[in-house]
Amino acid sequence: MNPANANTPTPPTGEAPRTITQRLLAIAGSIVTIIGSVALLLVAVSIAMGVAALAFGFLAALLGLSAYAGLLAGAIAGGLACAELLRQAAQQNKKES
């Protein structure tokens, strides 16, 4: 082995040795691939978070609607109870007079 070429990788047979530019382009391509993979993973995570937020939004809307329905039912029940008390008071007043 020639000591001057000891640190250079030997290419497969029939292939010319790679130049510095080719090596730098290969490294840059690997870095871009890694960055693209991370970006794709972040996009997938953000989509999943959006779906979860949408689900929680629907749940909050349902809970809000049930709270309003409970409030409305309470108001109706209170109004009916008040009307009954007024009716009883009117009957009592009628009996006394």
Specify the number of domains making up the chain: 1
Confidence (pLDDT) at 94: 85
Report residue 12 as tokens: 């497969």
Read off the pLDDT of residues 18-69 as tens digits, 9 standing for 90 and up: 788 999 999 999 999 999 999 999 999 999 999 999 999 988 888 888 888 9
Q: Is residue 6 part of a domain?
A: no
Higher pLDDT, 3 or 68: 68
Read off the pLDDT of residues 74-92 as tens digits, 9 standing for 90 and up: 999 999 999 999 999 999 8
The alpha helices in 1-97, defined as continuous H runs, are 20-96
How far is Cα 25 from Cα 70, in angstroms, rounded to an integer?
66
Per-residue burial over 48-87, b if 16 or more Cβ lie within 10 Å, else e, is eeeeeeeeeeeeeeeeeeeeeeeeeeeeeeeeeeeeeeee
Q: State the Rg of the chain over Cα.
A: 39
Question: Over 80: is that where the pLDDT of 13 sits?
Answer: no
Task: Give the domain extent around 31.
Answer: 15-96
pTM (2 decimals)?
0.47
Q: Is residue 21 part of a domain?
A: yes
Q: Is residue 2 part of a domain?
A: no
